[in-house]
Structure 1
């Protein structure tokens, strides 16, 4: 697409030669994107060509200097999204997860539970959830066969009475505005995994479908939650409305063959149709993405989105979402940088450049 990346807090710099590492990164990225064009869906290729045609045949002032809104507003949070956390799947978040008897290593936390735990922590609410015998389930994965929670001693994870005690402490910390301990974070993460009936292993933990994550929210009495799939006409409208209301959503994405996937938190939106994602990897890959075709690792298919989580639990922050865009446009063809221009709000810029005509066939 014409706009690849943007920032509200950092200047691109005028040097596009070897002394500008961001320019070199963008050039490499653009080279890879051009090579991937044949793999894009035809509808996406048509949409992008129309975007370029708009730049070629019309004044782009309306596209650049326009009313722009973002939720949350740029600079109002430390992460760029509503979440102020960057949790991940290793210690301390997996400290209560089962060990693998073959290797003796502790299982990673699992992306569904990390996404869910970050959302519940954002709301500082678990709705009085506890675990009992009705929550037992049989774990059978990678040669590890056991009951959760009956085999807690052998596999070194907490029994449900122990877990409930940890959760009570977590709630007390929320109620009294005490910073969470590592044990609090580990307990919430493991509780989310149990609620979603996750499987566990040091090489990878998780679920076999987003429906399990939805069941986890049901266990935590998130009664307003709703699971949507890619076929729901309201999917993106519901996601954007959740972001405007400061309600992060749970998104499950897979590759086109449905052989790999990941669960992330959607925690931001802007009127450029970009969504802010928290990948649950300690901050790595967090950022603004066009969904789903610009997702990394080929995870370009939406399996499902859980929206309206804890609806009514928060007030919309009283902050201005209006802003302006400052863009740096770089275009590359045949591996060579052929055009660069900075567009700032308030400037009139024309994209009627002859070289664009030859470039359009590659977009």
Structure 2
């Protein structure tokens, strides 16, 4: 009994069951408008990984059916539900792209590390949760490569060398990835420089020089080439693409063979193919926070520049193209496998911390040395400012860098202390760094002043595989008469010993010392915390505590905060919750901590930083025994106009129906729920289904979390817009409480009549149905002075009696496409379903 009382009150995480994973996959498929075949779901695969608790599921793969794609669901409920998905193709475990296999292998590694209690894996997950809960909205970018889906075999490898006399080398994923990006731009017209001859490393194949001036036949390159009879290409079309792929491979010194390998750099793209040398940057993941990394990717995609993304694992490097985003944190990946497995994946969660600079024992996994090349575009003929500022000199923590004192006492305040430091430095920029290193302080005007003498340093830029070079400066010493109080010591670098800049920090923050008239030591953490309850705490309910962490330092805090809970006043050895905080200097940040105690009891809470330093005194709360709620539906309304019906355009399932009309751009459904029982913290789940005349249905499953006290009536509101549902305008909304009883006896009739008025559907009592007609300017077609714009299925049709350029914008004001229309010409512009602005008017695309 004592052991049970000492257990943390955290809601323990665990593996997802097959049934839980299946429900997630069904929901994901429904959101894509796909009905998962029952026979296919029965073929779902579970990939398991060993951990200290035995074998646990790393992930599940649920095929949707022949040609309908698949969903990969996380096997651990601490990780985001959906790892990746696709709405096309057929999942075949025996024929998977090597870079996809590498990606999933790393995912297995992370689940194993997480289950083994690895702190860095936990930090990665906490950082991802922090980003998802921060309110940051990822833009939606349709796949930039469109229908470009190239592969590594015939006809792409027709110019690649033979090995073992009889076998044709594959192109390699690096060559295929970079060639697909070039096909996107259809650039360059000619090879810009001689590509030198070389001998491959493994098979010792002699690769001859390729002379500059070779022309590329873009007009003869197809977006897709059939890999089986009947072939869809001519010999000239095959030769055109094979030449490009071969040149890409040789430029990277491809190690040709059965699984050709190489690395691509900005220098290769600029030297041989004329891409913009000062715009491109090769960025390493371990220098950036997850939020920074995601925002860099999102800015690139919004600027319509595909990204070359790479990672390392034990079987070598893997390269693929990231060319879109779904608005929910996942990125569209073109694996370079003929379209196979292309889909949306969570590439950012594979944090590379475990294999970053200064890590002496990096375990295997795809998350080692993740990097990406951004700014890929034809040279614009001007000098560009860097897209991303990268600090060339970075100090690395994890016990690699330290600061101490020869003696911690002095006789008077003017006496100096001798500071002794050990410093592991790394160069994360794209260029070699030669300059100077010192320790100093930040002055009132924001500049930095060295306190120590400087030393010369020289650090090469990262290796081709992304791994940085390190420089170890041991026993770097200086003397300084520290004033009474706290002093922040910054590692500084300079190229001329005149202007000093602050080094970057990896896995650590600047050192802070605190001096008195006669003593000195490292200062205690500048962080402090408080945690408060917003409402009374109840057993068997989700309870929320508000955790506020204050940062009194002169620098930003990025890192983990640990929360410990127990039913007795004795701090457990393991935290109940680890939360990633970003806190600006002299600022604070507040986050929610949710827990579900099983019984009424005392609750003790401790908060520490990542080093285990207490940020507050232990705090005691009282958890009261909860009683069951009694929920009653007392009202349901929408923003439809009473008595105004749509009889021709409204559809439910396969029928034309008589629907209340919303004369606006969105449906607003409101529910009033009264609680006649005990206070409850509940998740109210809704189903939204949007229909069109072709029986295409789009689903979403929004949820509203609400605490409802005894006698209180909660008002729940759900909004639905056609552009979020593929342009569909007929909306069904239902509140479905699952295992929690909901009394709907006050609503005895809920009929949805067919448009003929003679037949009807009996809807569930907590359901509503409306048709969103749009405002007068929300129309599917525009005709003005010789120009016609019409929204179709996945495209906007434009015709004009004069030559003009027409810009197409989404509702966020971002230009998504541009159409150059010739006089008397009609063109179709492909766009995803939704609402768009053309010539100042809204156009619906289904």
Q: Quick check: 1:229 aligned with 2:284?
A: yes
Q: Deviations over 1:276-328 (max 9, x none)?
A: 11111112221111124469x95233532111111688xxxxxxxxx9xxxxx
| Alpha-carbon distance between aligned partners in 2 of 1:68 and 1:267, rounded to the nearest angstrom | 14
Quick check: 2:148–2:180 contact (8 Å CA) kept in 1?
yes
Q: Is the 8 A contact 1:264 1:277 kept in 2?
A: yes
1:128 aligns with 2:174: no
1:42 is aligned, of 107, 118, 122, to: 122
Matching residue within 125, 137, 141 for 2:197? 137
Alpha-carbon distance in structure 2 between the residues aligned to 1:254 and 1:351: 44
Do the aligned partners of residues 311 and 130 (structure 1) sit closer, same or farther apart at CA in structure 2, a change above 3 Å counting?
A: closer
CA separation in 2, counterparts of 1:351 and 1:97? 62
Please point out which of 282, 286, 300 is paired with 2:367.
300
Shift of 1:11: 2.9
Map of 1:70 onto structure 2: 140
- Is 1:241–2:321 an aligned residue pair? no
**1:58-90: per-residue Cα shift (whole Å, max 9, x none)?**
xxxx99xx9874101xxxxxxx55342111110
Shift in CA distance, 6/298, structure 1 to aligned 2, threshold 3 Å: farther
The answer to whether residue 324 in structure 2 is matched with residue 271 in structure 1 is no
> Deviations 1:201-251 (Å, cap 9, x if unpaired)?
1x11121xx4x4433212211113211111343543222111112211111
Which residue of structure 1 aligns with residue 410 of structure 2? Answer: none
Whole-Å separation in 1 of the counterparts to 2:259 and 2:341: 19
TM-aligned CA deviation for residue 20 of structure 1? 6.0
Q: Does the alignment pair 1:82 with 2:145?
A: yes
Q: Could you tell me whether the CA contact under 8 Å between 2:174 and 2:261 is conserved in 1?
A: yes
Tell me, yes or no, if the aligned pair for 1:248 and 1:266 is still in contact at 8 Å: yes
Cα pair distance change 1:21/1:81, threshold 3 Å = farther
Question: Is the 1:12–1:22 contact (alpha carbons within 8 Å) kept by the matching residues of 2?
Answer: no
Deviation, structure 1 residue 264 = 0.2
How far the C-alpha of 1:126 sits from its partner, in A, is: 1.1
The answer on whether the counterparts of 2:686 and 2:703 sit within 8 Å (CA) in structure 1 is no
The alpha-carbon distance between structure 1 residues 122 and 262, as it changes in their structure 2 partners (threshold 3 A), is same
Pair 1:232–1:250, CA change in 2 (3 A):
same
| CA shift in 2, pair 1:11/1:70, >3 Å | same
Is contact 2:311-2:367 (8 Å) kept? yes
Distance 1:250 1:272 in 2: 21
The residue that corresponds to 1:91 in the other structure is: 154
Partner-residue secondary structure (3-state), 1:269? strand
Q: Deviations over 1:41-73 (max 9, x none)?
A: 111344578899x8xxxxxxx99xx9874101x
User: Counterparts of 1:268 and 1:164 in 2: how far apart (Å)?
Assistant: 33
Assess if the C-alpha contact under 8 Å between 1:107 and 1:205 holds in 2. Answer: yes
- Identify which of 229, 244, 248 aligns with 1:192: 248
Residues 138, 325 of structure 2: 8 Å contact kept: no
- The 3 A distance-change label for structure 1 pair 343 and 306 is farther
Supply the distance in 2 between the matched residues of 1:81 and 1:172 (Cα, whole angstroms).
19
In angstroms, what is the RMSD of aligned CA positions? Answer: 4.3
- Is the alpha carbon distance of 1:276 and 1:39 closer, same or farther for their aligned partners in structure 2, counting shifts above 3 Å? same
Query: Which structure is richer in relative contact order (CA contacts within 8 A, separation 6 or more)?
Result: 1
Q: 1:302 to 1:235 in 2, by over 3 A?
A: farther
CA contact (8 A) 2:326 2:344 kept: no
Aligned-pair distance for 1:259?
A: 4.4
Give the greater-gyration-radius structure (CA): 2
In structure 2, the gaps of 5 or more residues are 1-15, 47-58, 62-72, 78-107, 115-120, 222-232, 352-363, 381-665, 667-684, 689-699, 708-736, 740-846
Q: 1:44 to 1:266 in 2, by over 3 A?
A: same
CA spacing shift, 1:22–1:114, aligned 2, 3 Å: farther
- Structure 1 runs not aligned, ≥5 long: 55-61, 73-79, 150-159, 314-322, 324-340, 356-363
- Which structure has more strand as a fraction of its residues? 2
Specify the SS of the correspondent of 2:321.
strand
Q: Is the 8 A contact 2:286 2:369 kept in 1?
A: no
Q: TM-score, normalised by structure 1?
A: 0.64
CA contact (8 A) 2:200 2:253 kept: no
Question: Which whole-Å CA distance do the structure 2 matches of 1:239 and 1:118 have between them?
Answer: 18
d(CA) in 2 for partners of 1:131, 1:263 = 24
1:336 maps to which residue? none
Match of residue 41, structure 2, among 10, 16, 21: 21
2: CA distance, partners of 1:235 / 1:127: 33
1:103-122 to structure 2, matched below 5 A, reads 103-122=165-184
Query: Contact 1:89 / 1:281 at 8 angstroms: preserved in 2?
Result: yes
- Does the Cα contact within 8 Å between 1:196 and 1:214 map onto a contact in 2? no
* Distance in 1 (alpha carbons) for counterparts of 2:122 and 2:337: 32
Contact 2:179/2:245 (<8 A) preserved: yes
Distance in 1 (CA, whole Å) between partners of 2:307 and 2:368 is 17
Sort the Cα spacing of 1:348 and 1:142 in 2 relative to 1 into closer, same or farther, 3 A. closer
**Structure richer in helix, relative to its length:** 1
Rounded Cα–Cα distance in structure 1 between residues aligned with 2:34 and 2:282: 39
2:259 is matched with: 204
Q: Number of aligned pairs?
A: 284
**Counterpart pick for 1:309 among 366, 376, 401:** 376
The answer on whether the counterparts of 2:332 and 2:343 sit within 8 Å (CA) in structure 1 is yes
